[in-house]
Each structure stands twice: as structure tokens, then as C-alpha cells.
A = this chain, B = another copy of it.
Amino acid sequence: MSWLDDVKWDEHGLVPAIAQEAGSGDVLMCAWMNREALARTAEEGVAFYWSRSRQRLWKKGERSGHVQAVRELRLDCDNDTVLLRVEQLGHSPGIACHTGRHSCFYRRYGEGAWHAVDPVLKDPGRIYK
């Protein structure tokens, strides 16, 4: 399928995949996709990623229920990054981060350090029972 061949996979067969919340525009997370993850995301309309630490395909929300419904898939000018515009399901407001926060980007730089500035919306112990 040529649209998958259009993607410039890196030496590990991966590209970064950015998930952005369609409603708010918030950047929720950045993970990795291999060819199969991108193909299944397009087919099933929910986000699949490749876990580098576990070396396996991973359906976002498979344990947490925090599934991402994909509204739009985009590719950048260099063909080496994918952008997903998603609806973050399973909690309101949406929780994309395994720490129970809305976004994985919850630390802000200031005065020579990273500071957690966004609240935990749900205790991870209750998310991953």
C-alpha cells in the first residue's frame, strides 16, 4: 500500500506520532508507530502505537480504557512524523498520560528546572487496576 510506503520509516522502522486533542488543540502525547501501528490506526479509527520498551504493538487505552478515536491523520513535509487529531475517550476531561494527567507534557521549564504544572485528574492506581 503506497501511502504506507510514502512514510520515511527510521532505521528501526518507526516514526514519531503526535496525538493532539481535536477539540482543544492540546498536544496530548508523542509515541512511536511502525508500519503495522499506522495501518491499524487507519483501519480501525483508534490509535495504535509501537512500544519501544516492550517491543510490541500497543492499542492506546488497552488497559486504561483511555482509547483515542482518530478524527484525522496527517503526515509532515519530510514524511517522517505523523500527527493524529484525536478524541481522548474514557474520562472527561481526557486523560492521555499514564500519570493520570490530561497531557504527557505536564512539566514546564523555568529557572533551570522542569516543574509539574498540570494536575493529576485520576489516581493511576485506579486507572490500572
Chain A contact residues, CB within 8 Å of chain B: 1-3, 6, 16, 18, 20, 24-27, 29-30, 42, 72-78, 81, 83, 97-99, 101, 104-109, 112-114
List, sorted by A's number, 26 A–B pairs whose CB atoms are closer than 8 Å. Answer: A2-B113, A6-B114, A16-B16, A16-B81, A18-B27, A20-B25, A20-B27, A25-B25, A27-B27, A30-B76, A42-B109, A72-B109, A73-B109, A74-B105, A74-B106, A74-B107, A74-B108, A74-B109, A75-B109, A75-B114, A76-B104, A76-B105, A77-B99, A77-B101, A78-B104, A83-B105
Of all chain B residues, which has the CB nearest A117? B74
Q: In the complex, which residues of chain B have a beta carbon less than 8 angstroms from the beta carbon of A98? A: 77
